């Protein structure tokens, strides 16, 4: 079989603590199912690197990484020394844009053994995907400030929605829905308030729906949609959203399942022209860094998503993915658990238990 080359980038804070546990799980599953995964570690895309070099990454980062099959990423950000907009726009957001990782895919799932903040919900009740556009929309650097420093000061911030960008994320989401048992899609919008970009988004959703007749779909305004994540999370299957709305929904969803510290994510370039990136949703968590108590589940779960994507339908990779998920569920049910979910175990202890369960 082919050897898959993965760039392992720990980044900052607890990224450095959870990445080794993710690699352990991936290597264990790979060994079990006969997959060849080869990790290469890099210490840049981190604030430490920035403090030494005045930039987050070396000039040749693109050339260095572009031949890899995937990037397995810890977390970036250390606001005490480097402002977030420098660390993030100098690394993570560059990867997403320049490697054209236009899909940000985030599962929302109620797991066994995890305290759920919603009343009367049990594992199995909540199981859906947020598909977030990851390169354009509200996250733009176009705009500016006028009359700076005076009473008349104002800023303009442009949101940019291209047909190219909108159609490809909608296509991905409709196809994802087609492959799931419920075949349902909800598109987040706000066309009753935001009067140019969102009606355009609605228009493209309607157009894309025509070529995916097997999917039952609706549109919901982001305000009431957020409310329904709390009130009726069992109703969702695939939720597709713009960059900003997807950002909000993919934190809110895991919050509703009690898994905000355990949520994985995939930043995908579905055409595989560039490496895709797999990272936990949690950040670098300066408050708990160094204590060895970070929950490694998000990192490990992201590793499972990575194997699934690398396999591109291959049965052995799917089996490796499923084995990791099953191992996570076993350990969440039986322990050991990290303190954030009521346990007393450390990062490595949980990581080893998951590897053993694989």
Ligand X SMILES: CC(C)[C@H](C(=O)O)[C@@H](O)C(=O)O
Name the residues annotated as catalytic: 139, 190, 223, 247, 251
Q: What is the CA radius of gyration of the chain?
A: 20
Tell me: does residue 17 bind ligand X (CB under 6 A): no
Cα within 13 Å of Cα(31), Cβ side: 9
Query: Looking at 161, 217, 289, 317, which residue binds a second copy (CB under 8 A)?
Result: 161
| Least distance in angstroms from the C-beta of 71 to ligand X | 14
Tell me: does residue 193 bind ligand X (CB under 6 A): yes
Q: Which two tokens stand for residue 231?
A: 């009130």
Contacts (Cβ under 8 Å, ≥6 apart) of 2: 36
Tell me: does residue 255 bind ligand X (CB under 6 A): no
Query: Looking at 38, 227, 235, 344, which residue binds a second copy (CB under 8 A)?
Result: 227
Per-residue interface string for the shown chain with a second copy, residues 2-41, x marking contact by CB under 8 A: ----------------------------------------
Residues paired with 73 in a beta bridge: 9
Q: Which two tokens stand for residue 230?
A: 């709390």
Local structure of residue 82 (DSSP, 8 states): B
Tell me: does residue 231 bind a second copy (CB under 8 A): yes
| Least distance in angstroms from the C-beta of 187 to ligand X | 17
Per-residue interface string for the shown chain with ligand X, residues 38-67, x marking contact by CB under 6 A: ------------------------------
Q: Which does 356 bind (CB under 5 to 8 A by kind): a second copy, ligand X, none?
A: none
With residue 318 as reference, give the H or E element that holds it. helix 315-334
Residues paired with 320 in a beta bridge: none
Which of residues 34 and 117 has its CB atom nearest to a second copy in the complex?
117
Contacts (Cβ under 8 Å, ≥6 apart) of 356: none
Residue 149: how many other CB atoms lie within 10 Å: 7
Tell me: does residue 88 bind ligand X (CB under 6 A): yes
Apex 44 CA angle, 140 and 21, nearest 5: 105
Residue 338: left (phi > 0), alpha (psi -120 to 50), or beta? beta
Tell me: does residue 143 bind a second copy (CB under 8 A): yes
Binding site residues, ligand X, CB under 6 A? 88, 192-193, 223, 247
Binding site residues, a second copy, CB under 8 A? 84-85, 88-89, 93, 116-120, 138-145, 150-164, 190-200, 222-224, 226-228, 230-231, 243-244, 247-248, 250-252, 254-256, 260
């Amino acid at each position: 079989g082919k050897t898959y080359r993965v760039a392992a980038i720990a980044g900052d804070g607890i990224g450095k603590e959870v990445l080794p546990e993710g690699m352990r799980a991936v290597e264990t599953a790979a060994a079990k199912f006969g997959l060849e995964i080869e990790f290469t570690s890099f210490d840049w895309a981190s604030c430490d690197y920035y403090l030494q070099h005045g930039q987050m990454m070396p000039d040749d980062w693109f050339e260095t990484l572009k031949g890899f099959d995937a990037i397995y990423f810890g977390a970036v950000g250390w606001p005490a020394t480097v402002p977030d907009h420098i660390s993030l726009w100098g690394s993570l957001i560059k990867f997403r844009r320049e490697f054209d990782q236009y899909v940000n895919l985030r599962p929302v799932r109620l797991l066994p053994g995890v305290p759920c903040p919603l009343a009367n919900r049990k594992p199995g009740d909540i199981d859906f995907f947020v598909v977030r556009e990851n390169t354009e929309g509200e996250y733009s650097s176009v705009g500016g400030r006028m009359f700076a420093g005076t009473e008349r000061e104002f800023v303009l911030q442009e949101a940019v929605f291209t047909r190219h960008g909108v159609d490809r994320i909608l296509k991905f989401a409709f196809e994802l829905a087609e492959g799931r048992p419920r075949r349902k899609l909800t598109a987040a919008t706000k066309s009753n308030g935001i009067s140019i970009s969102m009606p355009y988004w609605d228009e493209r959703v309607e157009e894309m729906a025509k070529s995916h007749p097997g999917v039952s779909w609706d549109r919901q305004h982001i305000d009431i949609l957020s409310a329904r994540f709390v009130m009726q999370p069992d109703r969702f299957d695939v939720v597709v959203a713009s960059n900003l709305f997807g950002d909000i929904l993919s934190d809110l969803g895991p919050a509703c399942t009690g898994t905000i510290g355990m949520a994985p994510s995939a930043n995908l370039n579905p055409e595989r022209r560039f490496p895709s990136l797999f990272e936990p949703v949690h950040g670098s968590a300066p408050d708990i860094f160094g204590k060895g108590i970070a929950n490694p589940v998000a990192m490990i779960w992201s590793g499972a998503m990575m194997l699934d994507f690398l396999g591109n339908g291959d049965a052995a990779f799917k089996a490796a993915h499923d084995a990791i998920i099953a191992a996570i569920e076993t350990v969440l049910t039986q322990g050991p658990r990290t303190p954030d979910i009521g346990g007393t175990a450390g990062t490595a202890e949980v990581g080893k238990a998951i590897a053993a369960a694989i």
